[in-house]
Amino acid sequence: MEFKKILEKQSEESWKTYIPTLSIDCVIFSFHETTLQVLTVKMKDQDLWGLPGGYVQKEENVDDAAIRILKDRTGTENIYLQQFYTFGNLNRSESAFEKYDDNLWYKQRFVSIGYYALAEHSKVNLIVDEYSSACEWKSIEDLPPFMMDHRTIFDKALLTLREQLNNHPIGYNLLPEKFTMPELQKLYEAILSKKLNRGNFYRKILRYDILTKLDESRKGGAHKAPDLYRFDLDKYDVALKEGLKGNW
Amino acid sequence: MEFKKILEKQSEESWKTYIPTLSIDCVIFSFHETTLQVLTVKMKDQDLWGLPGGYVQKEENVDDAAIRILKDRTGTENIYLQQFYTFGNLNRSESAFEKYDDNLWYKQRFVSIGYYALAEHSKVNLIVDEYSSACEWKSIEDLPPFMMDHRTIFDKALLTLREQLNNHPIGYNLLPEKFTMPELQKLYEAILSKKLNRGNFYRKILRYDILTKLDESRKGGAHKAPDLYRFDLDKYDVALKEGLKGNW
């Protein structure tokens, strides 16, 4: 079946299944080979890349819809998922379906609720469904042009993630269970897109009191074997809920 | 005209004017007599208090709708307004209109976008419109029971405001132009609902480098006249955009 027909058929179903006006877009981050990456998809009918998304069922909480969409698009559950902003400008999305009939579901005005997720890179399945021609991780330092206002949505997600560094611990979903201080610093540098001073980084991170130093070190390599750490999950959870030590 | 009739007439207009499914709720904070206050309204038909809100016109950006609603409900423009979260649970609002027909606009499922505003107490007009029986400031330490999920919306707004203290300067819209350090500390204490250590507060605030110490002091009172400060608006604006000094 040609793609236009698939979309028109799905449009009819969507009018029955979902509440109008609202969509959800997901900015799914992972950390891989010292770069922060984001999951991007390409619709069969489009030249530009976009963020994975979906709609809210008539008898479904919005947060549950986000969890369902994330699962459908990545095969994963129980990953850190956080609503961050709702995008409601006129004509933010309608133009992508110009060549279709005005009653096509996808061509309506949608206000989109953005969620960002922090996912373990290896656990995400790159699912190419019947509407997509591709699904790929992209480094945030080298993003392709995005469709609709998806670049704005991505930028706001990254800004929110950066601000979260000042309020809450980050890393549990992005790093392996055991990691070195230089690895943790590289994660912060990847999120912030800037180099950090090593001494300042150590002092500030240790002041948060969320790490446990292990009696092991990372073997191999020419340098002195660096110490391994893991997150103290009890303290990490407290800091997730109540904020980092030293905060207001 | 009885209130039920007014509401039914307005319902017809609303179906024509607004996009479906979406509403806006505003949490308007001010600082008055050392307490943080929030603007509350009571609908004619309801026993419980609520937050002022409204809907989004068909040809209107969502952020512009929030500005319009804020102006309609308070008579003020150009006050600090920030989207903070979107509330989308099933049945979050429908029950408040149980006794009306199912096709009443207000009885539909609405997903509500929350905005918080920081307003100068004296500049806000308490507007009692044809749908309301009251409009009042309430201290956040002594809130009445709220209708629908408005308590959840308020709690999230306050949590967001508290987290913003770690990322951005706050106070310009809430304090007079010239203020003393104890007055600024009282604002922080009112937002955080806790006492702060005076020495720590001074050190932390001065480190942000957003204040200018004036060659004046507050006259009157039994104690030594305290120094007056004002915000350095250039530095304040930079910190609003780029975050506070010492942050990641």
- Judged by a CB distance cut-off of 8 A, whether residue B248 touches chain A is yes
pLDDT of residue A222: 64
- Judged by a CB distance cut-off of 8 A, whether residue A69 touches chain B is no
Establish whether this prediction's ipTM goes over 0.85: yes
pLDDT of residue A221: 66
CATH number of the structural domain A3-166:
3.90.79.10
The residue written with tokens 């179903």 in the block is A13
Strand order in the sheet with B227-231: B179-180, B227-231, B211-217
Query: Can you tell me the distance from the alpha carbon of B166 to that of A171, in angstroms, rounded to the nearest whole number?
Result: 20
Label residue B87 by pLDDT band (50, 70, 90): very high
B chain contacts of residue A21, beta-carbon cutoff 8 Å: 19-22
Kindly identify which residue of chain A lies nearest to residue B64, measuring between CA atoms. Answer: A89
Contact assignment for B86 to A62 by CB distance below 8 Å: yes
Given CATH 3.40.50.2300, say whether it is the number of domain A176-242: no
pLDDT of residue B221: 66
Work out the end-to-end distance of chain A between its first and last CA atoms, rounded to an integer number of angstroms. 58
Query: Can you tell me the distance from the alpha carbon of A77 to that of A90, in angstroms, rounded to the nearest whole number?
Result: 33
Label residue B118 by pLDDT band (50, 70, 90): very high
pLDDT of residue B1: 67
From the list A229, A177, A186, the residue with the least C-alpha distance to A208 is: A229
Angle at which helices B150-164 and B181-192 pack, to 10 degrees?
A: 140
- Over residues A34-62, the mean pLDDT reads 94
- Over residues B74-102, the mean pLDDT reads 91
Kindly identify which residue of chain B lies nearest to residue A194, measuring between CA atoms. Answer: B248
E-only strand ranges, chain A = 18-32, 35-43, 53-57, 80-87, 111-118, 132-139, 179-180, 211-217, 227-231
A chain contacts of residue B171, beta-carbon cutoff 8 Å: none
Percent of chain A with pLDDT over 90: 81
Label residue B216 by pLDDT band (50, 70, 90): confident
Closest approach of A220 to chain B, Cα-based (Å): 31
- Judged by a CB distance cut-off of 8 A, whether residue B20 touches chain A is yes
Predicted confidence (pLDDT) at residue B186 exceeds the cutoff of 70: yes
Looking at per-residue confidence, does A122 or A185 come out higher? A185
Q: Are A84 and A164 in contact (CB under 8 A)?
A: no
- Over residues B136-154, the mean pLDDT reads 96
Predicted confidence (pLDDT) at residue B102 exceeds the cutoff of 90: yes
A93-107, A147-161, B200-214: segment of lowest average pLDDT: A93-107
Task: Write down the domain spans for chain A.
Answer: 3-166, 176-242
**Per-residue pLDDT tens over the stretch A4-35:** 888 899 999 999 999 999 999 999 999 999 99
Kindly identify which residue of chain A lies nearest to residue B113, measuring between CA atoms. Answer: A86
**Per-residue pLDDT tens over the stretch A143-176:** 999 999 999 999 999 999 999 999 999 999 899 9
Kindly identify which residue of chain B lies nearest to residue A189, measuring between CA atoms. Answer: B248
Query: Can you tell me the distance from the alpha carbon of A65 to that of B195, in angstroms, rounded to the nearest whole number?
Result: 40
B97 sits in the region (left: phi over 0; alpha: psi -120 to 50; else beta) called alpha
pLDDT of residue A64: 97
Interface of A with B in 113-152 (CB under 8 A): 113
Fold of B3-164: Nucleoside Triphosphate Pyrophosphohydrolase (3.90.79)
For residue A206, what are the contacts with CB-CB under 8 A and spacing of at least 6? Answer: none
Contact assignment for A61 to B192 by CB distance below 8 Å: no
B chain contacts of residue A20, beta-carbon cutoff 8 Å: 20-21
From the list B162, B140, B82, B197, the residue with the least C-alpha distance to A156 is: B82
Residue B180, strand partner residues: B228
- Over residues B3-25, the mean pLDDT reads 94
pLDDT of residue A239: 95
3-state DSSP of chain B: CCHHHHHHHHHHHHHHHEEEEEEEEEEEEEEECCEEEEEEEEECCCCCEECCEEEEECCCCHHHHHHHHHHHHHCCCCCEEEEEEEECCCCCCHHHHCCCCCCCHHHCCCEEEEEEEECCHHHCCCCCCCCEEEEEEEECCCCCCECCCHHHHHHHHHHHHHHHCCCCCCCCCCCCCCEEHHHHHHHHHHHHCCCCCHHHHHHHHHHHCCEEEEEEECCCCCCCCCEEEEECHHHHHHHHHHCCCCCC
Predicted confidence (pLDDT) at residue B18 exceeds the cutoff of 90: yes
Query: Can you tell me the distance from the alpha carbon of B217 to that of B223, in angstroms, rounded to the nearest whole number?
Result: 12
- Judged by a CB distance cut-off of 8 A, whether residue B200 touches chain A is no
Which of B20, B83, B90 minimises the CB distance to A61? Answer: B90
Q: Are B229 and B181 in contact (CB under 8 A)?
A: yes
**Per-residue pLDDT tens over the stretch A173-207:** 899 999 999 999 999 999 999 999 999 999 999 99
Kindly identify which residue of chain A lies nearest to residue B247, measuring between CA atoms. Answer: A166
pLDDT of residue B238: 95
- Judged by a CB distance cut-off of 8 A, whether residue B22 touches chain A is yes
Closest approach of B67 to chain A, Cα-based (Å): 13
- Judged by a CB distance cut-off of 8 A, whether residue B197 touches chain A is no
Which of A19, A90, A243 minimises the CB distance to B21? Answer: A19
pLDDT of residue B187: 97
Closest approach of B16 to chain A, Cα-based (Å): 15
Average pLDDT, chain A: 93
CATH number of the structural domain B179-242:
1.10.10.10
- Over residues A35-56, the mean pLDDT reads 94
pLDDT of residue A129: 85
pLDDT of residue B2: 83
Label residue A124 by pLDDT band (50, 70, 90): very high
pLDDT of residue B225: 83
Which of A86, A87, A166 minimises the CB distance to B248? Answer: A166
B chain contacts of residue A188, beta-carbon cutoff 8 Å: 248
Average pLDDT, chain B: 93
- Judged by a CB distance cut-off of 8 A, whether residue A60 touches chain B is yes
**A160: Cα within 13 Å, side-chain hemisphere:** 23
- Judged by a CB distance cut-off of 8 A, whether residue B208 touches chain A is no
pLDDT of residue B119: 94
Residue B76 in tokens: 């003020």
Q: Are A244 and A166 in contact (CB under 8 A)?
A: yes
B chain contacts of residue A247, beta-carbon cutoff 8 Å: 165-166
- Judged by a CB distance cut-off of 8 A, whether residue B109 touches chain A is yes
From the list B138, B130, B111, B186, the residue with the least C-alpha distance to B28 is: B138
Could you tell me how far CA A137 lies from the centroid of its own chain?
Answer: 11
Predicted confidence (pLDDT) at residue A52 exceeds the cutoff of 90: yes
